[in-house]
Structure 1
């Protein structure tokens, strides 16, 4: 059942707002240290502690306004709470940095499992948004699964070898830009396998 439509700018604010707030909080707090209960917490942990509840609130607001959440949104929220909570609880930023890796590996695994069964789970999630022929969905799903694997590898490489600032920049700007560019370069696939044009019998380059 399709959810209720909301203002696209409001949706964007709810989707990206927590990430932007995390970035601002990190920039302001990255050199600070706070003591609570006899334990010292650095700015990264405090920024994470702000991000997790804000992500929960923004997702709940989105659910109340639209009447539904996609499986991707639900999985993302659960992993944010689990890995972000572990980082704050154990005072160890590595858990939060691993969170994108877990998210992208999970999505790649789910899409790959569907492909092995001859199905596109991506089509089940967004078919109403981008109607494609079955062949188009299978090809797009394969490409997206490989793309998610690439993002997981990139995240691991960056947080393990670069500074906190570099990783935060990657998470805040690099990941959204990479996803945007991925779908932009799929224009040939959408044109070839779009429902309106599937009778032309063309193949993507």
Structure 2
């Protein structure tokens, strides 16, 4: 297999491990609503945890290493989702994406205080970029992750058919259903894809520069 084909296969596997658990969560939730009613959220969360752990095991087997971001996400998902299922409290499940995104965002930003770019550490095997480009990408993604956390907070705090207290709401006249919150994960995935595409120019610019420098 050529290097290009190998990278393409690797990216395809990475996409599957990222999208697969979310797709399973959404599908299980809406099918479960017809069978187990309000408990569908807990069934979907349980399968989501299993899917995340399976994706982590697959990544470990295929790449002989633990992908840091996937590992951190799996730990938080398992803890928060497990608490939600154990206590039958959907709030733990609603707030889980917020905690994942904020944890990763502040991990990126705080790493600079120790002279480390954790974003480079996460993806140095995928891209070969100068430190300045890694810094720009790290800051961009840290801010974007905070934006995703804000969106999740905006949506879950206004779920009308869940156990969300009125005091948690930001806007009295705004309300959504739990199903809307579940489907909103597709919007989050779309926004993440678009944001990733918007960052391709800086990656291509610096990779092209590096390759040109090596050929001189």
TM-score scaled by length of structure 1: 0.81
Q: CA deviation at 1:85?
A: 0.5
SS of match in other structure, 1:128: coil
Aligned to 2:167: none
Q: Does 1:135 align with 2:138?
A: no
Aligned to 2:89: 92
Aligned residues: 189
Q: CA deviation at 1:186?
A: 1.6
| Of 106, 110, 126, the match for 1:109 | 106
Aligned to 2:15: 12
Q: Does 1:190 align with 2:193?
A: no
Q: CA deviation at 1:53?
A: 2.0
5+ residue gaps, structure 1? 35-40, 201-205
In the aligned structure 1, how far is the partner of 2:200 from the partner of 2:47? 38
Aligned to 2:168: none
5+ residue gaps, structure 2? 1-5, 159-175
Structure 1 or 2: larger helix share? 2
Q: Does 1:169 align with 2:183?
A: yes
Is residue 108–residue 142 contact of structure 2 (8 Å, CA) maintained in 1?
yes
CA separation of 1:181 and 1:50: change in aligned 2, threshold 3 A: same
| Deviations, residues 41-74 of structure 1 (Å, cap 9, x unaligned) | 6211122122222322232133122211211111
Aligned to 1:22: 25
Aligned to 1:179: 192
Q: Does 1:46 align with 2:59?
A: no
| Deviations, residues 65-118 of structure 1 (Å, cap 9, x unaligned) | 221121111111101110110111011111111111111111111111123344
CA separation of 1:170 and 1:57: change in aligned 2, threshold 3 A: same
Aligned to 1:38: none
- CA-atom RMSD in angstroms: 2.5
Greater shift in the superposed pair: 62-71 or 152-161 = 62-71
In the aligned structure 1, how far is the partner of 2:74 from the partner of 2:29? 20
Is residue 98–residue 153 contact of structure 2 (8 Å, CA) maintained in 1?
yes
TM-score scaled by length of structure 2: 0.77
Aligned to 1:68: 65
SS of match in other structure, 2:127: coil
| Deviations, residues 155-183 of structure 1 (Å, cap 9, x unaligned) | 11111113211111122x12221111112
| Deviations, residues 5-54 of structure 1 (Å, cap 9, x unaligned) | 794444433332222111111111225447xxxxxx62111221222223
